[in-house]
Amino acid sequence: MEVLNPQHDTTKQSAKVSFGRFPPSPPETASNTREPSTDGESDASGPSFGIDEVGLTGARAYALAPASRPDNKVLPEDLKTPDNHVVRDPRLIRLTGVHPFNVEAPLSELYNEGFLTSKDLHYVRNHGPVPKVDDTEIMDWEFSVEGMVEKPMRLNLAELIKEYEQVTYPVTLVCAGNRRKEQNVVRKTKGFSWGAAGLSTALWTGVVIGDVLKRAMPKRGAKYVCFEGADKLPNGYYGTSIKLNWAMDPNRGVMLAHGMNGEPLHPDHGKPLRVIIPGQIGGRSVKWLTRIIVTATPSDNWYHIYDNRVLPTMVDPEMSAQLPDTWKDERYAIYDLNTNSATCYPAHDERLSNTDALGTYNVRGYAYAGGGKRVTRVEVTLDKGKTWTLADISYPEDDYRLAPEDDQLYGGRLDMSWRESCFCWCFWNLEIPITALQQADDIMVRAMDESMMVQPRDMYWSVLGMMNNPWFRVVIHKETHGLRFEHPTLPALQPGGWMERVKKAGGNLTNGNWGEKTSGEEEVAIAEEPAEEICLIDEKVSRNITIDELRKHDGETEPWFVLNGQVYDGTKFLEGHPGGAASIFGVAGQDATEEFLAIHSENAKRMMPDYHIGSLDEAARAALANGETAIEENSSPRQTFLQSKVWTKAILSARKKISADTKVFTFDLEHSSQVVGLPIGQHLMMRLRDPVTREAIIRSYTPISDVDEQGKLHVLIKVYYDTPERKGGKMTQALDAIPVGHFVDFKGPTGRFEYLGRGLCTISAVQRKVKRFIMICGGSGITPIFQVLRAVMRDPEDPTFCLVLDGNRIEEDILCREEIDGLVRGNEHKCRLLYSLSKPGDDWKGLKGRMGKDLFEKEVGPCKSINGEDLVLVCGPEALEKSVKTIFTGMGWKEEDVLFF
């Protein structure tokens, strides 16, 4: 911080900062510095947040945060989300799409704001919608203190302000995912891609939590304090915990905050009340606080267990889905921040002209440590760690320690003079001769804290990608006109950075040399085989399509859909689509990129140029990104759960084991009288979206729910586990790992076939009358067969005959056997049911061996039906389906008489 001359008029002195090529010092806030206010009074109407307050001690000043921007408003992309009441800054970089709101500032703009960050550019980590609290409701906001306490309490914010001393001090909050993009480039984690600006510093005003807990009187045996917010999420309310002795330790500075930078909390930052836990990851500082629960054990909240952990590096995303006990191991929970640093200037893609060769460049950035520790040194190397140079460090936080004991700031005592703990980031800089930069390949920085913990040279990759803190490396490119600097990554999906460049060129980022080839490596290194790039467009097509044109094709007449900004006409493929015309109708007029890429094969992608008709113009792309073609959801309860164009959430409420690898997953619908709305014989799509990455896995299933059942959805699924020979099923293993209470998205219906009853069905919307179904299935392929069989058997007026051939490996593998036997019992006159086992036990009395030519010739034989009165329905493993196709074609069956689900 700048030292002010005591002769200066401090009411006019402004802490100006030059951010030219060689600023003389690290960044400072641009806020005015003035004489301290002595009015620290507050009452039940709210705290005093005077914007002119600042403290001085002799000749040294501490600064305030930059002023908030007065012109911010609700952004267009938020208007059709639950956050349509939240005013935001358009400069923030969205990391997880439009919603939920997870953002960081551009790194240079964050650094340029100085030690304190405005609420506009402060990073945000939201797991879901922002709770809406009107200004008139702030003082009535209630929270409880409960659990293992002698005196449980309920307090509102007015009482918290009136009955407890208010304090103010600066705290740097850091997301545990800061710098995660670097890990995602090396190997995809389950976390979205934060850059190096997932941190911010603010002046927080509130009450020391220890004062509240002392009044509640924790009982003997209490060891943890759990926090819960008002943000209702698919897996319950967000919550976590810390140790009770940390909360009670004044030096830890844990606070119940209601003010930020002299203003009431912004909605994104916890309005009206949140927890602030200095020195720990931001995920512990729960926003929109409603409950404080004192316990003997850590929180059992879903988000405490499945978020903010560093699992052992050998646990990959697929493996992690099978390790619930590992997730619950508190040894892997993250609390204190680790030591970290980053270079802010030179910025990414910044250039230095050759004309500057005689000067110096002031390399500068930030550093922080955790648990109240101070960063004691920052070192810079230009030769990959062979030699190091100490950088200068400034600690703006220390300026606040010099304020008088009773100094008031924003209605709270500036509680800093006695405190040894460091709660904030610091800034480092080093003047380097440009001639030295011209001879170097890169600039690398590392920091060390007072416990001698130093940033590691290499990355510790983990499945959630958290706490990434290897040396921060900026590459120096020598170009014709001078030097160009390249950071490791850019946040979110922004392309750029030396890590992506090196990986794309086939470099191995884990070779200990930042992907650069070492001596002899060319002979032994094996570059990843690049994925085949399939062109989805017709390069001869040049038509630009407006949003109005797209909207005209959002129905069942000439349905158009969008993939990666390109428009396709699905009309010609309505009859041929394996998922039926409904699959195309369901995305008509919308962006289908995610679903298409998640579901379709390489062969399907190669077909797309035939249906390509043009590109969305820029206005249409913006409109589509802002959800302007999205379907408006009905606010009143719907009788039917499934929607063709909108994903709908259902909550996993039970998981029942049927066999060694098969389970029935039961989901609660939106309300108890709601029906699924799935026609007989059709499928629904299930989407499991990781709560951290939001990456989608989409698969189609046929539930076994009764058509008329209300409030519940039952899906029988065989879980394909990893084996030494092959990788297991991504979706099935993920479903098997999610806890009860987790949500899954559903959409539908899809499928070419629908059974209307009494022998009448449709195939690709063409009606057909059937007198006999030949139903061939294996394993979990029983589910669509079971639906049709149940409909036929339950209707006494349905004359359709069913021949069911169900092949499995062992008797335990016969799924839905009890239900199927029950349906056939009493209906033997219109159903013949045969089970066959390839590995039967000694007491098995049914058919033995794989279902093959001999069985099909004996039980089915050549096609003798007239006018398609016989229809073969097949669902099972790929090998079974191929076998059936070959054998039935050889017996004279037409392709249109054999339907594969």
Query: 149-177, pLDDT tens digit by residue?
Result: 999 999 999 999 999 999 999 999 999 99
Please tell me the predicted confidence (pLDDT) of residue 342.
98
Please tell me the predicted confidence (pLDDT) of residue 720.
87
Please tell me the predicted confidence (pLDDT) of residue 17.
28
Please tell me the predicted confidence (pLDDT) of residue 629.
52
Say how far apart CA 530 and CA 503 lie, in whole Å.
10
Please tell me the predicted confidence (pLDDT) of residue 60.
43
Of 48-52, 143-147, 418-422, where does mean pLDDT reach its minimum? 48-52
Binding residues: 175
**Average pLDDT score over residue span 379-403:** 96
The residues with which 665 forms a beta bridge, in sequence order, are: 655, 715
Say how far apart CA 476 and CA 455 lie, in whole Å.
22
On the question of pLDDT at 484 being above 60, the answer is yes
On the question of pLDDT at 42 being above 50, the answer is no
Of 27-31, 251-255, 678-682, 789-793, where does mean pLDDT reach its minimum? 27-31
Query: How far from 72 is each of 60, 433, 785, 788, 821, CA to CA, in Å?
Result: 33, 41, 57, 57, 66
Show contacts of 349-355: CB within 8 Å, 24+ apart.
349/484, 349/485, 349/486, 349/496, 350/484, 350/485, 351/479, 351/481, 351/482, 351/483, 351/484, 351/485, 352/434, 352/437, 352/482, 352/483, 352/484, 352/485, 353/481, 353/482, 354/481, 354/482, 355/482
On the question of pLDDT at 50 being above 50, the answer is no
Tokens representing 650 are 């259902």
Show contacts of 724-729: CB within 8 Å, 24+ apart.
727/318, 728/318
Q: For each of the domains in the chain, give its residue range(s) and CATH number, in order of start.
A: 61-332 (3.90.420.10), 340-519 (2.60.40.650), 544-625 (3.10.120.10), 648-750 (2.40.30.10), 753-900 (3.40.50.80)
Please tell me the predicted confidence (pLDDT) of residue 598.
65
On the question of pLDDT at 3 being above 70, the answer is no
* Catalytic site includes residue 308: yes
Among 83, 102, 126, 175, the one annotated catalytic:
175
Residue 872 CB neighbour total at 10 angstroms: 21
**Average pLDDT score over residue span 22-50:** 38
Mean pLDDT of the chain: 87
**Average pLDDT score over residue span 290-306:** 96
- Highest mean pLDDT pick, 215-229, 480-494, 845-859: 215-229
Residue 527 CB neighbour total at 10 angstroms: 10
Among 89, 120, 307, 870, the one annotated catalytic:
307
Please tell me the predicted confidence (pLDDT) of residue 518.
61
Q: Is the dihedral of CA 256, 259, 264, 266 positive or negative?
A: negative
* Catalytic site includes residue 175: yes
Maximum CA pair distance of the chain? 108
pLDDT range class, residue 696, cuts 50, 70, 90: confident
Query: 520-568, pLDDT tens digit by residue?
Result: 544 333 333 444 567 888 989 999 999 889 888 888 778 898 888 899 9
The residues with which 767 forms a beta bridge, in sequence order, are: 762
Query: How far from 173 is each of 123, 124, 201, 204, 281, CA to CA, in Å?
Result: 9, 10, 6, 11, 7
Please tell me the predicted confidence (pLDDT) of residue 29.
42
Query: DSSP per residue over 333-400, as a string?
Result: B--BPPPEEEEEESPTT-EEEGGGTTSEEEEEEEEE-STTPPEEEEEEESSTTSS-EEPEEE-THHHH
On the question of pLDDT at 16 being above 50, the answer is no
**Are 312 and 462 within 8 A, CB to CB?**
yes
**pTM of the shown model:** 0.65
Please tell me the predicted confidence (pLDDT) of residue 703.
94
Query: 591-635, pLDDT tens digit by residue?
Result: 887 777 766 667 778 888 999 999 998 888 877 766 555 454 455
Using DSSP bridges, classify how beta strands 566-569 and 560-563 pair: parallel, antiparallel or unpaired.
Answer: antiparallel
Query: 721-733, pLDDT tens digit by residue?
Result: 877 777 788 888 8
Please tell me the predicted confidence (pLDDT) of residue 620.
83
Please tell me the predicted confidence (pLDDT) of residue 272.
98
Q: At what angle do helices 817-824 and 782-794 cross, to 10 degrees?
A: 30
On the question of pLDDT at 2 being above 80, the answer is no
Query: How far from 326 is each of 84, 331, 522, 722, 737, CA to CA, in Å?
Result: 38, 9, 38, 18, 12
**Average pLDDT score over residue span 446-455:** 98
**Average pLDDT score over residue span 768-775:** 95
**Average pLDDT score over residue span 234-263:** 95
Query: 463-472, pLDDT tens digit by residue?
Result: 999 999 999 9
Comparing CA positions, the residue from 278, 122, 147 lying closest to residue 202 is 122
On the question of pLDDT at 4 being above 80, the answer is no
On the question of pLDDT at 413 being above 70, the answer is yes
On the question of pLDDT at 309 being above 60, the answer is yes
pLDDT range class, residue 73, cuts 50, 70, 90: very high
Binding residues for Mo-molybdopterin: 175
182 burial via Cβ count (<10 Å: 0-12, 13-18, 19+): buried
Among 308, 340, 362, 429, the one annotated catalytic:
308
Say how far apart CA 211 and CA 217 lie, in whole Å.
10
Please tell me the predicted confidence (pLDDT) of residue 625.
67
Query: 811-868, pLDDT tens digit by residue?
Result: 999 999 999 999 999 999 999 999 999 999 999 999 999 999 999 999 999 888 777 8
Express as a percent the part of the chain with pLDDT over 70: 88
Please tell me the predicted confidence (pLDDT) of residue 578.
63
On the question of pLDDT at 368 being above 90, the answer is yes
pLDDT range class, residue 689, cuts 50, 70, 90: low
- Highest mean pLDDT pick, 269-273, 548-552, 658-662, 684-688: 269-273
Please tell me the predicted confidence (pLDDT) of residue 698.
86
Say how many CA atoms lie within 13 Å of 795 toward its Cβ: 16
